[in-house]
Structure 1
Amino acid sequence: MNEDFSKVTIDELLQRALQYHNAFKVNQAIGFYEKILKISPTNPHAIHYLGVAYHQLDQHDLALKFLEMAVSLKPDSSETFNHYGSALLKVPNFEAAEAAFRQALKLNPSNAEALFNLGNLIISGPELQNQVDAIAPERAVEATHLLRQAKALNPDHLTWQLELANALIEIDEKLEAKQIIDDIIFKEPTLAKAYFIRAKIKFGDMDLTKCILLSPTSHRAINNLGVVKLRQGDLNEVVPLYKKASRIAPDDPSVRWGLANGLLATGNLKKGWREARWRHKKPELLIERQGLPREWRGEEIKDGKLLVYHEQGIGDELRFASCFKDLIHKSSAPCIIETDSRLIPLFSRSFPEIEFINKLPRSENAIPEVDYSHFVKTNNIKAYTALGDLPLHLRPNIRSFGKEISYLIPSPKFTDAWKEQLDRMAPGKKIGFCWNTALPNKRYGDYFFSINELNPIFSIKNSV
């Protein structure tokens, strides 16, 4: 008799809890779920929906606690695994979230929310994690397929359609993406994200401006508009836009990096180089460096050496090498510069006063690590600085740049070989340039100009 009464009570309490929950009265629903658990501490439905409720209240630890219990109590529930994945996204644990969504779809391939969540995670994951790496083509195709299925099951969900358009852009199906977005904007012209995503398709400021009007705190849209203005040469608007984005998201490395570029482009070098230190927090540049001494601040160093550690790529190293001669005079100390092994002969020939070493080995962890402890101790290193921070101390304004025509000394062997090759060409001015990266990346696409933009150089009279 008591057992039957308890069952009826639990069913009634669960129905009332769900009524409150579906009416968005989450706190009242939590009260009923807790009453159920006092009667039946392992009730799978109360535990499941209590986890969902805490997830909706952004109480992530409690949400995960109950949803982890729920998936063990309801191992055949696609809905539970989908909710568990959504909670994992908030922690964030992207790898575990993806596994949860895949399990939800294994249990029910027609779970529309799980289809959308997995597709959206694949497409948005790199941006959510501030990664610069492009999405692997096969994953972008998978995401598009998942989002198409989700849209077919819920054709009126505009947000899902937007993410499908986002996925289509990733696989270069921009015409279809634009058609979807145009249709969404026609139906819902106040949806800010639609303009933000459409701005990825066509270069210009109109869509980003509209997005910001509709969503004034969208720091990514403001930041991207700064990029557009910089490329358009509208320098008066660049820094105010980047500063506005930085006030909204002061800890976002990509936004602060944008501000650095804006300041440098407008001639405020001292503040620009200081802001550029935010690059150290960008995921694609993040390295855990251990065992370093104090950081060099531009002062003279006595009774020891200065270490300049390696960062970024060969092109950046060649650019910052213009500071090496000034570094010797500024620090008044022997300098050791960590560099790519391929540049050691060139740098050693060009700057014989400096010792160049191959960059120390990095671990293969998700965040690479390098330990300088032994090197610092055995080489009497008293201070260090990053290669990209040299201009902060040596190039505070335009006047501080040297007037040398060149600062690198080529190998005589290669000089003779190139002279011989150039002499075989038609007479006239010879122009050589490097205009693209050897490691193409879709997310860097806007950094490089089209070959057609070089036409003015190709048309120079008597040039080859």
Structure 2
Amino acid sequence: MATLQEALIMAVDSLQAGQPAQAKHICRQILAVDPENGNALYLQGVAQAQMGRLDEARDSLATAAARAPGNADIHLNLGRVHLLAGRFQEAEHSLRSCLALAPGHGGALIELAKTLSSLGRFDEAAEVALEALQSEPGRSDTRAVLSEARREANDPIGAEEHARAGLRTAPGHPQLLCTLGLALFQQSRIGEAVDALTGAVTGDPRNWRAHFNMCRIHLGLGRLAAAWHHLDQGYAAYPDGPFAGRARQFPEPRWAGEPLAGEQLRVWQPYAIGEEILYAGLYGEIAERAERVVIDTTPKLLPLFRRSFPGIDFIPRADPPVTKVAGITRQCSAFDLMRWLRPTEATIPARRRYLAADPSAVADSRRHFDALGAGPKVGISWTSSSTADTGKSLTLEALRPLLGLPGVVFVTLQYGDHEKEIRALRDRHGLVLHPPGDFDPFTDIDGLAGAIAALDAVVSIPNVTAHLADALGVPTVLLTRPFVQNFSLREGRSLWCPNIRPVFRETDDAAAIGRLVDAACARLRDVLNDGAA
């Protein structure tokens, strides 16, 4: 009969041979004889983690850490388990405990950098990844983590530099190609991004991040078959999907296109409010398929969505979310609705409107706009407050030819404080931007919807305003880069948004912006003359 030490060695050998179930079985035998054996608990936790049983792994490793608090490797693996399970604060605590015992531990530094990125602390993540790179200069995965942290910190050029530096020493490295592709994607270098991400999935067909981002790019290009191919490949490699941290918070099975008769479906939001409005175009259809639909919704959208879809239960979106809703049998992200309800372009309906503004708010806005004088009333939104704004924003000064179109009355739909810029436009050029009414466009989405529904047209950069205008059926001139994911622009139209008419901004130089504004003037005149987008 093997001694306990020999049994531990056998468990280690099983783990190294890729046999975690065997390792777990051996550890259970050891613990039956010696329940206090910290090494067996540790190896059992590692085996459970490899088997994807993260809660069990956490319990085993936490108990092992309590019994052997000076073992840095236990804290490291406990941190990894917390990170995989989306428990980022717990992961940081465990990884810092490891580093307190083993300063400069390369593996712990890499995992800590990933954790800090998951917590949105991207500059800190980059600093930690750089420290890891200095301690182990040859590690390609460290360079990839550093590149990703720089990209998330809105430094895609720095991210590209780090990815290319890593690829010089490790050509064809799938993780580095993936991070390079994402950095290029963020710079709107779409062709190069596709090449890099294609290299990533060629080198590692189970690189789920590359597949999911290829899906995003192909969606933006309006290539549904390619987009869904990569989405399905990504799910096959990583069943938790692109929104794993949030997906794990919902206990029900994920809906993957099966019939929903008799089912109660919960839909949760993976993205921000603009995408939430876009995906709302699918809500009416999914409600017809399921017995009951419950949708997590940003609170300020609740009045608008409840009015537009009276047969759906909308609950306030919270972070962390309400994890259990009575009666639910399936769950999915709103993004998944697009996959299963829009498998081909032929399944996209030729509708013009799916949201219903408050009739009293529309009437109030019409009275307000009528008082501004004769002529078509056009709303405008020109800038973004997003730190990830990759060249969307414009200035009112650049838009002067548009704002000076004869006979057109312009109304600002811009949220935030832009009074100084609006006043300068009036004082220097005599051009007036009127307020939309007595509401805050940022906090009062229902008021904003009422104002937009009362307008003849909207001019906007890609943002919430553009999505809302399209959903309300208002003709919208979109001032945009040639590629913008959420609108899927192709052949002068948007695949998802039939009321959108794009005009393109190729570069950021003054001449290109001048051409953009000239094209916007022509497009707006066409829209106003036709009375439709």
Category of TM-score, reference length = shorter chain:
0.5 to 0.7
- Structure 1 pair 73/209, CA: closer, same or farther in 2 (3 Å)? farther
- 2:5 paired with 1:45: yes
Preserved CA contact (<8 Å) 1:310 1:387: no
- Structure 1 pair 66/269, CA: closer, same or farther in 2 (3 Å)? closer
- 2:388 paired with 1:449: yes
- Structure 1 pair 395/411, CA: closer, same or farther in 2 (3 Å)? farther
2:253 aligns with one of 288, 291, 309: 288
Q: Which residue of 1 aligns with 2:98?
A: 147
Preserved CA contact (<8 Å) 2:207 2:234: no
1:91, CA displacement in angstroms?
Answer: 1.3
User: Which protein shows a greater Rg?
Assistant: 1
Letter in 2 for 1:263: H
Preserved CA contact (<8 Å) 1:320 1:390: no
- 229-238 vs 68-77, greater mean Cα deviation: 68-77
- 2:40 paired with 1:87: no
1:51, CA displacement in angstroms?
Answer: 1.4
Letter in 2 for 1:389: W
Letter in 1 for 2:75: L
Letter in 2 for 1:87: A
Q: Distance in 1 between matches of 2:80 and 2:330?
A: 38
Q: Distance in 2 between matches of 1:183 and 1:90?
A: 28
Alignment map for 1:7-406 (pairs within 5 Å)? 37=1, 43-122=3-82, 124-126=83-85, 135-137=87-89, 139-152=90-103, 155=104, 157-167=105-115, 178-186=126-134, 188-203=136-151, 204=156, 205-216=160-171, 218-251=173-206, 253-273=208-228, 275-276=230-231, 281=239, 282=241, 283=244, 284=246, 288=253, 311-313=267-269, 316=275, 318-320=277-279, 322=281, 338=293, 340=295, 356-358=311-313, 370=329, 386-394=337-345, 404=352
Letter in 2 for 1:99: D
The structure with the greater share of residues assigned to helix is: 1
Preserved CA contact (<8 Å) 2:383 2:392: no
- Structure 1 pair 256/424, CA: closer, same or farther in 2 (3 Å)? farther
Q: Distance in 2 between matches of 1:264 and 1:213?
A: 31
Q: Distance in 2 between matches of 1:49 and 1:187?
A: 30
Preserved CA contact (<8 Å) 2:383 2:394: no
Q: Distance in 2 between matches of 1:292 and 1:171?
A: 32
1:74, CA displacement in angstroms?
Answer: 3.0
Q: Which residue of 1 aligns with 2:356?
A: 409
- Structure 1 pair 187/448, CA: closer, same or farther in 2 (3 Å)? closer
- 218-227 vs 448-457, greater mean Cα deviation: 448-457
Runs of 5+ consecutive residues of structure 1 not aligned to the other structure: 1-36, 127-132, 296-304, 328-333, 373-384, 437-446
- Structure 1 pair 288/145, CA: closer, same or farther in 2 (3 Å)? closer
Q: Distance in 2 between matches of 1:291 and 1:214?
A: 41
Letter in 2 for 1:149: A
1:85, CA displacement in angstroms?
Answer: 1.9
Q: Distance in 1 between matches of 2:112 and 2:302?
A: 48
Letter in 2 for 1:50: M
- Structure 1 pair 308/44, CA: closer, same or farther in 2 (3 Å)? closer
Q: Distance in 1 between matches of 2:132 and 2:24?
A: 35
Q: Which residue of 2 aligns with 1:28?
A: none
Letter in 1 for 2:217: G
- Structure 1 pair 319/206, CA: closer, same or farther in 2 (3 Å)? same
Preserved CA contact (<8 Å) 1:165 1:181: yes
Preserved CA contact (<8 Å) 1:141 1:171: no
C-alpha offsets along residues 378-400 of structure 1, whole Å, 9 cap, x if unaligned? xxxxxxx945433333468xxx8
Preserved CA contact (<8 Å) 2:163 2:176: yes
Letter in 1 for 2:214: L
- Structure 1 pair 414/218, CA: closer, same or farther in 2 (3 Å)? farther
Q: Distance in 1 between matches of 2:78 and 2:15?
A: 18
1:365, CA displacement in angstroms?
Answer: 7.2
- Structure 1 pair 240/45, CA: closer, same or farther in 2 (3 Å)? same
Secondary structure, counterpart of 2:329 in structure 1? strand
Letter in 1 for 2:27: L
Q: Distance in 2 between matches of 1:98 and 1:347?
A: 40
Identical counterparts, % of pairs: 16
1:451, CA displacement in angstroms?
Answer: 12
Preserved CA contact (<8 Å) 2:306 2:312: no
Q: Distance in 1 between matches of 2:115 and 2:282?
A: 43
Q: Distance in 1 between matches of 2:30 and 2:55?
A: 19
C-alpha offsets along residues 46-83 of structure 1, whole Å, 9 cap, x if unaligned? 22221122122222222111111123333333333222
Q: Distance in 1 between matches of 2:144 and 2:174?
A: 11
Preserved CA contact (<8 Å) 2:24 2:43: no
- 309-318 vs 142-151, greater mean Cα deviation: 309-318
- Structure 1 pair 317/268, CA: closer, same or farther in 2 (3 Å)? same
- Structure 1 pair 177/238, CA: closer, same or farther in 2 (3 Å)? closer
C-alpha offsets along residues 76-120 of structure 1, whole Å, 9 cap, x if unaligned? 333332222222221122222222222222222211221222233
Letter in 1 for 2:67: L
- Structure 1 pair 434/320, CA: closer, same or farther in 2 (3 Å)? farther
Letter in 1 for 2:190: L
Preserved CA contact (<8 Å) 1:308 1:387: no
Preserved CA contact (<8 Å) 1:150 1:160: no
Secondary structure, counterpart of 1:95 in structure 2? helix
Runs of 5+ consecutive residues of structure 2 not aligned to the other structure: 316-321, 397-417, 426-431, 436-533
C-alpha offsets along residues 201-222 of structure 1, whole Å, 9 cap, x if unaligned? 3222122233344445654443
Preserved CA contact (<8 Å) 1:339 1:356: no
When normalised by structure 2's length, the TM-score is 0.54
1:347, CA displacement in angstroms?
Answer: 7.4
